A = this chain, B = another copy of it.
Amino acid sequence: MDERILLETVDFSKGLVPAIIIDVENKDVLMLAYMNNEALKRTIDTKTTWFWSRSRNEYWNKGATSGHFQYVKAISLDCDNDTLLVEVKQLGAACHTGNRSCFFKKVNF
């Protein structure tokens, strides 16, 4: 698959699609945010992550204010084309709390 095919294949018919962001170096899941077609386009064009903020109703380029940019190394699409998996080189912390990952509250079974 190439970038053009990726853009054409993602199914936005149910609305925003979740993008799982993982650290390309150690595979840690860093965060999840949402993309629409334009956010994915900007992500491909700039090779940094762009999302659609559901709370602020605006595009955001992760790192634009914090400096904690995510440099995109690969994007995978799931079997039914409505979830993205984005491998990134993460500068600093992914989470606004200062934690490297947003998933820092854990229950073991």
Contacts and interface: CB of A to CB of B under 8 A. Distances in A.
Contacts of A2: 107
A20 B96 CA distance: 20
Residue among A2, A77, A96, A97 facing the most chain B CB atoms (10 A cut-off): A77
A79 interface: yes
Interface residues of A, number: 39
B104 A79 contact: yes
A1 B75 contact: no
A74 B107 contact: yes
A32 B83 contact: yes
Contacts of A72: 109
Nearest to A2: B107
